[in-house]
């Protein structure tokens, strides 16, 4: 048995253990340790390589951009706990409600805002499902259309900045870019940061939102019975009420613009902007009188739980990648992808397909920490722009989380949707949005400048 074959077996065992439901961090770290000792016993692995692991942990601890993760999580959880989404949905509903499909447009806009602020698919889908599904069904919306709107808007947090997904992906891609430079014999690679990913993902994210909104408008024209207007007399709403509605909508918009704009303008780093976002979300909660010590306690507790989950998975994945490279698994993957007929196109297509199916069973954090460090260096060395690659991975996983029968967002919505909404209706509702996602992927693949243009304009 060769060391490369043992690395492949280790990878398959880790994936199988994850599918069986074992804890992610313990599975990654534990599998790596077991195979490291097995490899050492048959002289296929040097156990001394594990002495490098403490240095890897120290590198994670000293990585300043990762400090933005708990701060962005705090911002999102605070906005969620303060019931801002409910107020936004009510305000948007009053603005667009008299139009056919107006409530659907409101759900998409609010869902996109909430997704951008949290970056967590489950939290957004559950929140929007609890808030908007009963309202939409009561208004006469088709259950399948309502389900599609909620699930699709909830997945936008994968790609719309600011997002913890992009922060984590930026850190992983930076390491992959350095490894790719070693493969190509380059000494000083062009850095890839979360700031670059924020800029690169902005236009694709807005394009996807625009495509979603366009589909809702088309449905309102072709099948008006599926998305009727809400009966209300907006014409007699006094100016004071309009101002109140704008007062609900404007502050969270301003917060996201300040956080994202300060990053793109180079005024602040993602960590500094995330801190502003955390303070700003707290001030919004105080302003709405939706803040007390219990809410702060719950937000802090949820932030600690989610952040701890992210970082312990990162530590386990670091051990896994260390042992995998020690076995020479990275060389095996590199040779396999380079030998595919069709060159780098086939390699990229195969990786995207594999990630798509892994998205049925694994969360984005697991895929980013386990798969991207293995395949990322090879794809970058083959000539793909790491920034473009990161956005394509984000949109691909977003599509996977929507796809029946295993898409994560479908399970989240099924858990909170009324019993009158059949699972088949949820599946039917997301199919048009999957087609939109595939259209978006095709556009970004065919026209990579949609991703790379804005970073070049901003950062040169």
For residue 200, what pLDDT band results from cuts at 50, 70 and 90? Answer: very high
Asked if the peptide bond before residue 162 counts as cis, ω within 30 degrees of 0, the response is yes
What integer is the mean pLDDT of 280-306?
A: 86
Q: Please report, rounded to a whole number, the percentage of residues in the chain having pLDDT higher than 70.
A: 94
**Residue 233 reports pLDDT greater than 80:** no
Q: What's the pLDDT tens digit per position in 208-223? A: 999 999 999 999 999 9
User: CA-to-CA distance for 312 and 109, rounded, in angstroms?
Assistant: 33
Min mean pLDDT across 120-134, 380-394, 395-409 is at 120-134
Residue with tokens 């300040």: 258
Q: What pLDDT does residue 117 have?
A: 67
pTM for the structure as a whole: 0.85
Q: What's the pLDDT tens digit per position in 306-334? A: 888 888 888 888 898 889 888 888 888 88
Mean pLDDT score of the chain: 85
DSSP character string of 360-407: TTS-HHHHHHHTHHHHHHHHHHTT--HHHHHHHHHHHHHHHTTSTTT-
Q: What's the pLDDT tens digit per position in 89-125? A: 777 777 777 788 888 888 888 888 777 666 666 677 8
Judge contact between 14 and 31, C-beta under 8 A.
yes
**Residue 76 reports pLDDT greater than 60:** yes
Q: What pLDDT does residue 135 have?
A: 83
Q: What's the pLDDT tens digit per position in 362-394? A: 778 778 888 888 899 999 988 899 999 999 998
User: CA-to-CA distance for 146 and 136, rounded, in angstroms?
Assistant: 7
Judge contact between 338 and 378, C-beta under 8 A.
yes
Q: What's the pLDDT tens digit per position in 448-460? A: 999 999 998 888 7
CA 312 to chain centre: 18
């Amino acid at each position: 048995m060769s060391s490369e074959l043992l690395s492949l077996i280790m990878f398959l065992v880790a994936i199988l253990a994850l599918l069986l439901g074992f804890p992610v961090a313990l599975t990654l770290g534990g599998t790596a340790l077991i195979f490291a000792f097995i490899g050492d016993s048959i002289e296929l692995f040097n156990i001394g390589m594990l002495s490098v692991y403490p240095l890897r942990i120290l590198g994670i601890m000293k990585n300043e951009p990762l400090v933005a993760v708990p701060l962005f999580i705090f911002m999102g959880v605070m906005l969620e706990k303060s019931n801002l989404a409910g107020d936004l949905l009510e305000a948007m509903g009053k603005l667009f409600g008299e139009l056919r499909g107006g409530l659907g447009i409101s759900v998409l806009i609010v869902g996109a805002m909430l997704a951008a602020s949290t970056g967590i698919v489950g939290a957004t889908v559950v929140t929007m499902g609890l808030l908007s599904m009963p309202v939409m069904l009561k208004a006469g919306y088709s259950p399948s259309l309502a389900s599609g709107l909620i699930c699709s808007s909830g997945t936008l947090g994968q790609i719309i900045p600011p997002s913890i997904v992009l922060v984590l992906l930026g850190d992983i891609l930076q390491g992959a870019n350095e490894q790719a430079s070693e493969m190509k014999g380059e000494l000083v690679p062009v850095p890839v940061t979360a700031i670059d990913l924020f800029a690169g993902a902005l236009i694709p994210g807005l394009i996807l939102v625009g495509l979603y909104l366009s589909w809702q408008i088309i449905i309102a024209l072709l099948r008006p019975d599926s998305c009727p207007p809400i009966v209300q007399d907006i014409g007699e709403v006094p100016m004071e009420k309009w101002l109140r509605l704008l007062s609900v909508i404007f502050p969270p918009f301003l917060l996201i613009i300040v956080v994202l704009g300060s990053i793109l303008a180079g005024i602040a780093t993602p960590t500094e902007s995330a801190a502003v976002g955390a303070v700003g979300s707290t001030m919004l909660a105080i302003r709405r009188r939706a803040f007390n010590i219990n809410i702060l306690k719950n937000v802090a507790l949820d932030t600690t739980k989610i952040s701890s989950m992210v970082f312990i998975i990162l530590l386990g994945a670091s051990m896994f990648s260390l042992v995998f490279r020690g076995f020479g698994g990275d060389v095996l993957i590199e040779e396999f992808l380079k030998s595919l007929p069709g060159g780098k196109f086939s390699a990229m297509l195969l990786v995207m397909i594999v990630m798509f199916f892994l998205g049925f069973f694994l969360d984005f954090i697991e895929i980013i920490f386990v798969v991207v460090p293995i395949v990322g260096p090879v794809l970058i060395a083959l000539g793909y722009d790491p920034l473009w690659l990161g956005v394509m991975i984000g949109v691909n996983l977003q599509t996977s989380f929507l796809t029946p029968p295993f898409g994560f967002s479908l399970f989240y919505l099924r858990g909170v949707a009324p019993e009158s909404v059949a699972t088949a209706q949820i599946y039917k509702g997301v199919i048009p949005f999957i087609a939109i996602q595939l259209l978006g992927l095709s556009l970004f693949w065919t026209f990579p400048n949609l991703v790379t243009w804005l970073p070049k304009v901003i950062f040169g």
